[in-house]
Structure 1
Amino acid sequence: MNFVFENIKNFNQPYIIAEIGANHNGDLNLAKQLIDQAVEAGADCAKFQSWTKESIFAKQVYEENYFLADDYRDRDDYTLEEIVEEFSMNKEEFIELKKYCDKKGVDFGCTPFSKAEADFLVDELNLPFLKIASMDLNNIPFLEYLASKQVPLILATGLSEMSEIDEAVRTIEKHHSKIILLHCVSNYPPLDGNVNLRNITMLQDYFKPYSVGFSDHTIGVEIPLASVSLGAAVIEKHFTLDKEMFGWDHKVSADYQDLIQIVQGSKRIVEALGSYRRKLTKFDEEKIPAFRRSIVAAKEIVEGQIIELSDLTFKRPGTGIPPKYVDFLVGKVAKKTIKLDTVIDLKDF
């Protein structure tokens, strides 16, 4: 499914984003392998993040050297500044990856971390949408600028109060109304009890008519698949070739087999959700005669006998008089003898 804003709706087949992010580890060939695997697994979009050492952290952060560990352990073999520089990609590499995605028939998506990066993604790469990271939801000047680019915006809502989400949406609405919200919990990974998938329903109700998806950081495939049953219009899941690979997000990422389960499972769930209206299937209609019950003689009923309730019972098939009409038969006189276990017919009275 290529990105068409109008087609991405709650309770439709979700738009599946393989969030490669920085899982390419700054390696162009690895990035292409990730795209290949995402395409083969059935993802709709291979998404990256556009940042540089200058656009993501202030000098103070590098001096403090707080490292976002790939394996939840502190490391001393890399500084934060070194790893950010190594894992970033330049314009030429993104141009090549965009062309590669076009060749493979998958959308190229990206999250900008600065105005200049947004200009590049929209004006030069002509991306169909921009994804806004949770950390920028309260960055109102940046939201104003991104909204002015007049492309659909997918807005992650992690770390945010409802008032902040509302302010972000109203800010974007000043320029256009092509917004998709993503419920997001920004812990990596969150406890199941903190995921609060019902927030998807809450956001759907509060921000009608906008579509709402789920940006997932849980381990495994169960939680993103559960979001489909709540109508998630988008599923964004970090994607890797190897969960043990060195890097920031590999541990919480889906691998190839996980992504296949998400893609195929979401299709089954959407199909199984079906319609809100109660409607019998052709199978139901065909099976009713065999599966339902009719009024049946519980004992032999002789000609001229006045029928009592104890003379009747209810058994398959459902080709005779339905059980709900039993009171109508009680007190009637049999025209002929009815043998035990015979389906009753109105002509018998």
Structure 2
Amino acid sequence: MKVRIGDNTIAAGEPVYVIGEIGLNHNGDVENAKRLIDVAADAGAQAVKFQKRTPDISTPEHMKLTPRETPWGTMSYLQYRYRVEFEREQYIEIGDYATMRGLDWFASPWDEPSVDFLEDLGVVAYKIASASITDTGLLARIAATGKPVILSTGMSTFEQVETAVDLLGTHGLVVLHATSTYPLPPEEANLRMIPTLQQRYPGVPIGYSGHETGLQISLAAVALGATVVERHITLDRAMWGSDHAASLEPHGFENLVRDIRVIERAMGDGVKRVFPGELAPQAKLRRVLA
């Protein structure tokens, strides 16, 4: 089964679809968002992803009045959410910029009005964040768009994943293995879930959304057959904000994409043969000919 997003095809045997997760790492600044788009494009990724919220709806009630220390002073958590949220004109600006740089762009909507907001902007796909996997109203609204859907499965039981997949359907669906620990320790990566998901949903592209600090786990996911790799990107891991510490800086993201492309070339087709490069060593070293 192949899933088409923009000009890219997601399936086994196709180039790994690499997503630079910008999320809120722009810290509410359009110029930061554009610089992060440049990071993804310069590295050779195919997409960037943002997050879209209607803060009054998506912010849990018990968190709305919680004080938050920010670069703009102390404010409530709800005020902070509004402070870092892009509105329509800003999304048009960064979306056009991503398109100009040759990238697909889309977002994770955290509430149903945000789906309508993104539909109005003509996004090519939707990403469902792990935190939203149990929001059946949101999932149904996304499914109704008919757009491709990328589903992250962190902080979830297999039963919750099954319910979400049943609601979304498998046509146009990509499922990402994820563990929602920030940053992710290796012992919680559980990469063997990738073949488990491949067996459970044959034909559905399976990928990996990582929150580790290095590259090794994401590269191992590709070797296990991940067709999508999503990683948070930042301009500087020391920047203020909750996701920067579990993100890759520009050089690290560039190295990730480079190494993914090497692994793709190295995987081969599993058919044993004598390669052209082996002929000279064979002639020189093999004493007994078959």
User: Common fold, TM-score beyond 0.5?
Assistant: yes
Conserved 8 A contact 2:22-2:232: yes
Give the secondary structure class of the aligned counterpart of 2:220. helix
1:152-179 per-residue CA deviation (whole Å, 9 max, x = no partner) reads: 1000001111111111111111xx6110
Where does residue 231 of structure 2 map in the other structure? 237
Where does residue 83 of structure 1 map in the other structure? 80
TM-score with structure 2 setting the length: 0.92
Where does residue 147 of structure 1 map in the other structure? 143
Does residue 28 in structure 1 map to residue 30 in structure 2? yes
Does residue 205 in structure 1 map to residue 176 in structure 2? no
Where does residue 114 of structure 2 map in the other structure? 117
Which structure has the greater CA radius of gyration? Answer: 1
Give matches, 1:20-59, under 5 Å. 20-59=22-61
Structure 2 alignment gaps of length 5 or more: none
Q: CA deviation at 1:135?
A: 1.1
**CA distance in structure 1 between the aligned counterparts of 2:6 and 2:16, rounded to whole angstroms:** 12
Give the secondary structure class of the aligned counterpart of 2:114. helix
Query: Higher strand share goes to which structure?
Result: 2
Aligned pair partner of 2:271 in 264, 268, 277: 277
Q: CA deviation at 1:29?
A: 1.1
Structure 2 CA distance for partners of 1:136 and 1:231, relative to 1, 3 Å = same
**CA distance in structure 2 between the aligned counterparts of 1:131 and 1:211, rounded to whole angstroms:** 14
One-letter amino acid of the counterpart of residue 116, structure 1: P
Conserved 8 A contact 1:152-1:179: yes
One-letter amino acid of the counterpart of residue 116, structure 2: D
Structure 2 CA distance for partners of 1:159 and 1:66, relative to 1, 3 Å = farther
Where does residue 16 of structure 1 map in the other structure? 18
Structure 1 alignment gaps of length 5 or more: 71-75, 295-317, 323-349
Aligned pair partner of 2:167 in 171, 175, 181: 171
- The alignment covers a number of residue pairs equal to 285
Where does residue 180 of structure 2 map in the other structure? 186
Give the secondary structure class of the aligned counterpart of 2:32. helix
Where does residue 63 of structure 2 map in the other structure? 61
Give the secondary structure class of the aligned counterpart of 2:180. coil
Give the secondary structure class of the aligned counterpart of 1:7. strand
Give the structure, 1 or 2, with the largest relative contact order (CA under 8 Å, sep 6 or more). 2
Give the secondary structure class of the aligned counterpart of 1:159. coil
Does residue 291 in structure 1 map to residue 285 in structure 2? yes
Q: CA deviation at 1:104?
A: 1.4
CA RMSD for the aligned pairs?
2.0
Q: CA deviation at 1:283?
A: 2.0
Conserved 8 A contact 1:131-1:155: yes
Where does residue 263 of structure 1 map in the other structure? 257
**CA distance in structure 1 between the aligned counterparts of 2:67 and 2:230, rounded to whole angstroms:** 26
Q: CA deviation at 1:12?
A: 3.3
Q: CA deviation at 1:78?
A: 4.2
Conserved 8 A contact 2:53-2:109: yes
**CA distance in structure 1 between the aligned counterparts of 2:62 and 2:185, rounded to whole angstroms:** 31
Does residue 94 in structure 1 map to residue 88 in structure 2? no
**CA distance in structure 2 between the aligned counterparts of 1:280 and 1:17, rounded to whole angstroms:** 36
Does residue 160 in structure 1 map to residue 156 in structure 2? yes
TM-score with structure 1 setting the length: 0.77
1:236-285 per-residue CA deviation (whole Å, 9 max, x = no partner) reads: 10010010001121111001011111110000001111111112212224
Where does residue 190 of structure 2 map in the other structure? 196
Where does residue 211 of structure 2 map in the other structure? 217
**CA distance in structure 2 between the aligned counterparts of 1:24 and 1:99, rounded to whole angstroms:** 16
Q: CA deviation at 1:81?
A: 2.3
Conserved 8 A contact 1:52-1:89: no
Q: CA deviation at 1:77?
A: 3.7
Conserved 8 A contact 1:11-1:228: no
**CA distance in structure 1 between the aligned counterparts of 2:67 and 2:274, rounded to whole angstroms:** 60
Give the secondary structure class of the aligned counterpart of 1:240. coil
1:3-40 per-residue CA deviation (whole Å, 9 max, x = no partner) reads: 35882113532111100000000011111111112211
